[in-house]
Chains A and B, each alone.
Chain A
Amino acid sequence: MALLTIKNLTVRFATASGAFTAVDGVDISVDKGEVLAIVGESGSGKSVAMLAVMGLLPDTATVTADQMTYDGQDLLRLSPAERRRIIGREITMIFQEPIASLNPSFTVGFQIEEVLRINLGLDRRAARARALELFRAVGIPEPERKINAYPHQMSGGQCQRVMIAMAIASDPRLLIADEPTTALDVTIQKQILDLLMALQERYGMALILITHDMGVVAETADRVVVQYKGRKMEEADVLSLFSAPQNPYTRALLSALPENATGGRLPTVADFMAVEATAAEGLK
Chain B
Amino acid sequence: MTIVLEGRGITQDYQVREGFLGGWKAVRAVKGVDFQLERGKTLAIVGESGSGKSTLARIIALIDPQSGGTLKIEGQAIDISRQRITPALRSKVQMVFQNPYGSLNPRQKVGDVLMEPLLLNTPLSGDERRARAEAMLTKVGLAPEHFNRYPHMFSGGQRQRIAIARALMLNPALLVLDEPVSALDLSVQAQVLNLLGDLQEEFQLTYVFISHDLSVVRHIADEVMVLSKGEAVEQGSREALFADPKHPYTRQLFAATPVVSVDAIRERVARRQAARVLHP
Contact = CB atoms under 8 A, between A and B. Distances in A.
B191 A272 contact: yes
B252 A265 contact: no
Contacts of B67: none
Interface stretch (A13-21, A83-91, A119-127, A254-262): A254-262
A213 B219 contact: no
B153 interface: no
Contact of B252 (A187, A201, A253, A256): A187
Interface in A209-258: 212-216, 218-219, 222, 237-239, 242-243, 252-254, 256-258
Report, as a range, how many residues of chain B touch the other chain: 35 or more
A216 B252 contact: no
Contacts of A117: none
Interface in A124-163: none
Given A186-B48, A222-B272, A266-B219, A257 B187 contact: no
A212 B188 CA distance: 13
A269 interface: yes
A256 B215 CA distance: 11
Contacts of A216: 258
Contacts of B185: 41-42, 212
Contacts of A260: 260
Interface string A185-209: 1111110010000000100000000
Given A258-B218, A265-B197, A214 B186 contact: yes
A190 B255 contact: yes
A131 to B, nearest CB: 28
B125 interface: no
A185 B214 CA distance: 12
A104 interface: no
Interface class of chain A by DSSP: helix
A242 B267 CA distance: 13
Nearest to A190: B256
Contact of B215 (A41, A237, A259): A259
Contacts of B212: 185-186
B208 to A, nearest CB: 18
A267 interface: yes
A178 B265 CA distance: 22
Which of A187, A239, A258, A264 is the most central at the interface, judged by chain B CB atoms within 10 Å of its CB? A258
Contacts of A243: 262, 265-266
B257 interface: yes
A268 interface: yes
B269 interface: yes
A185 B257 contact: no
Interface class of chain B by DSSP: helix
A188 B216 CA distance: 19
Given A218-B258, A222-B272, A239-B269, A259 B218 contact: yes
Interface residues of A, number: 39
Contacts of A256: 186-187, 189-190
Nearest to B254: A186
Nearest to A216: B258
A260 B187 CA distance: 13
A80 B261 CA distance: 45
Contacts of A188: 48
A254 B220 CA distance: 18
B142 to A, nearest CB: 11
Interface in B194-248: 194, 197, 212-216, 218-220
A256 B157 CA distance: 15
B253 interface: yes
A99 to B, nearest CB: 12
B98 to A, nearest CB: 13
Given A185-B212, A187-B48, A201-B275, A238 B269 contact: yes
A187 B265 contact: no
Given A218-B261, A218-B264, A239-B262, A185 B48 contact: yes
A60 B216 CA distance: 39
A277 to B, nearest CB: 14
B264 A258 contact: no
Interface in B76-108: none
A260 B190 CA distance: 11
Contacts of A239: 262, 265-266, 269
B268 interface: yes
Contacts of A219: 258-259, 264, 268
A267 B189 CA distance: 10
A190 B256 CA distance: 5
15 contacts: A42-B156, A185-B48, A186-B48, A186-B213, A215-B259, A216-B258, A218-B265, A239-B262, A239-B269, A243-B265, A261-B219, A264-B197, A266-B191, A266-B219, A269-B141
Given A186-B214, A222-B269, 4 more contacts: A215-B258, A215-B259, A257-B186, A259-B259
The 4 closest A-B pairs by CB, nearest first: A215-B258, A266-B190, A258-B219, A190-B256
